[in-house]
Copies of this chain bind each other. A is one copy, B any other.
Amino acid sequence: MSTATALQQDDATAQIRALAEAARAASHELALADTDAKNNALTAAAAAVRAAEAELLEANAKDVAFGQEKNLSHAMIDRLKLDPARIEAMASGLEAVAALPDPVGEVMASWERPNGLRIERVRVPLGVIGVIYESRPNVTADAGGLCLKAGNASILRGGSESLHSSGVITECLQRGLEDAGLPRASIQMVPTRDRAAVGAMLARADLIDVIVPRGGKSLIERVMNEARMPVFAHLEGLCHVYVDAGADPEKARAIAFNAKMRRTGICGAAETLLVDRQADPAVLRAILSDLAKEGCELRGDDDVRALDPRVGTATEDDWYTEYLDTILSVRIVDGVEAAIDHINHYGSHHTDSIVTEDPDAARKFLAEVDSAIVMHNASTQFADGGEFGMGAEIGISTGRMHARGPVGTEQLTSFKYVVRGDGQIRP
């Protein structure tokens, strides 16, 4: 490490420690905050975001100019850009989080012991949540709001191109907190472009309880490798649709098309279509034709290519690839068992769906596919906290610990046991 880099690392370490200590202190107050106070903070923050429209657009213009200087891709600039509609969406998003039920204090289970002790399992906040994301200013409001609702303090580290926009948004969130009598440090942003800040965050397992990364694969990979605390994330959404011999042809067509094409850039988009060798070839032909007509590139094994000349050759690598684009790999498999084997081997344990009217095949698939979300006769694009009825999500986790699938307010909580007695002592 050069001396300059080492100094930078020292600065980042000190800065993150100060933020995280303030977050920890705030989290103790937040854990005891009542629902009204948190909701008041969220609605006041929404009002502040609306009132700051002009300031936000100005800050965002600086960010966009910086992003263009840095030659960000068109897609990245698009995600960075704010306009009045997007600002309104952030504000109403905060109000929607205010309208969600408060998970904190919920009695998850309760029972009585033969000796009369009454035991309750009660939801409490997790503590301090670090969120690391790309240059998408709206994530600042979404993530800060969701963490707050679950009683957690958050430390937000957005992409360096969104620094000005995120700064204004954080100020709005903190004004909301202040209005509601809650500590400003309940939501903090890392106010620097210094990349060393990310490493400094990932090292503070003593002060940051969990990290939620949002962004591309390289960011997630770095966070998963370096974080000393638990991480709620998915590295990839390599989702599959399996069309069984017992599939209803119309459902198969509709689901395969929707799972791939509705939006190709989201983690719940299908990347591989598996089709039962016993299925009527007309079904697969129709699916391939639907997709090709809409400009989807198809890559298949020899059996698939024999059905449609528009299908290119899939290599071994294709089965491992999350395209996030209008490309689909297609493979013929020997029944549901082979489909399960393919998915468990090549997949990313995110979301996989079987299309069939055969209850035995469905049962087998749902039981044996080892993914956070398994579906029967539904599009993988439903893999989303909102679609699950959770109201909002901070991401989707493919880990097996604590949170799996969509991460909403409930998944951002822990719990404690409350035991009530009348003088019981243990014999």
Most B Cβ at <10 Å: residue of A127, A258, A414: A414
Is B209 a contact of A375 with CB atoms below 8 Å? no
- Residue-wise, chain A 144-165 has the 8 Å CB interface mask toward B (1 for contact) of 0000000000000000000000
Is A126 a contact of B376 with CB atoms below 8 Å? no
Is A377 a contact of B248 with CB atoms below 8 Å? no
With A424-B377, A424-B378: A119-B388 Cβ-Cβ less than 8 Å: yes
Residue A367 is within 8 A (CB to CB) of chain B in the complex: yes
Number of copies of this chain that the complex holds: 2
With A32-B368, A370-B31: A378-B250 Cβ-Cβ less than 8 Å: no
Q: Name A210's contact: one of B32, B366, B401 (CB within 8 Å).
A: B401
Residue A254 is within 8 A (CB to CB) of chain B in the complex: yes
- Residue-wise, chain A 344-381 has the 8 Å CB interface mask toward B (1 for contact) of 10000000000000000010001110111111111101
Residue A131 is within 8 A (CB to CB) of chain B in the complex: no
With A209-B401, A210-B401, A418-B366: A255-B113 Cβ-Cβ less than 8 Å: no
Is A387 a contact of B113 with CB atoms below 8 Å? yes
Is B376 a contact of A400 with CB atoms below 8 Å? no
Residue A309 is within 8 A (CB to CB) of chain B in the complex: no
Is B376 a contact of A421 with CB atoms below 8 Å? yes
A422 to B382, CA, bound (A): 13
Name the distance in Å between A371's Cβ and chain B's nearest Cβ: 7
Which residues of chain B are within 8 angstroms of A255 by Cβ–Cβ distance? 423, 425
Report A232-289 residues with CB < 8 Å from chain B CB.
Answer: 248, 250-251, 254-255, 257-259, 262
Q: Name A373's contact: one of B127, B210, B405, B417 (CB within 8 Å).
A: B417
> Which chain B residue has the least Cβ–Cβ distance from A366?
B418
> Which chain B residue has the least Cβ–Cβ distance from A427?
B262
Residue A415 is within 8 A (CB to CB) of chain B in the complex: yes
Residue A426 is within 8 A (CB to CB) of chain B in the complex: yes
Most B Cβ at <10 Å: residue of A32, A388, A401: A401
Which residues of chain B are within 8 angstroms of A366 by Cβ–Cβ distance? 418
Is A425 a contact of B379 with CB atoms below 8 Å? yes
A62 to B378, CA, bound (A): 61
- Residue-wise, chain A 108-133 has the 8 Å CB interface mask toward B (1 for contact) of 00010100010100001011000000
Residue A28 is within 8 A (CB to CB) of chain B in the complex: yes
Is A405 a contact of B400 with CB atoms below 8 Å? no
Is B401 a contact of A416 with CB atoms below 8 Å? no
Residue A195 is within 8 A (CB to CB) of chain B in the complex: no
Is B405 a contact of A416 with CB atoms below 8 Å? yes
Is B119 a contact of A389 with CB atoms below 8 Å? yes
- Residue-wise, chain A 378-415 has the 8 Å CB interface mask toward B (1 for contact) of 11011000011100000000001110110000000011
Which residues of chain B are within 8 angstroms of A191 by Cβ–Cβ distance? none
Residue A420 is within 8 A (CB to CB) of chain B in the complex: yes
Name the distance in Å between A395's Cβ and chain B's nearest Cβ: 15
Is B117 a contact of A424 with CB atoms below 8 Å? no
Residue A419 is within 8 A (CB to CB) of chain B in the complex: yes
Is A419 a contact of B113 with CB atoms below 8 Å? no
A220 to B119, CA, bound (A): 28
Residue A335 is within 8 A (CB to CB) of chain B in the complex: no
Is B254 a contact of A389 with CB atoms below 8 Å? no
Extra inter-chain contacts (7) besides given A376-B421, A400-B414, A405-B417, CB under 8 Å = A113-B389, A126-B400, A210-B401, A248-B423, A257-B425, A379-B424, A379-B425
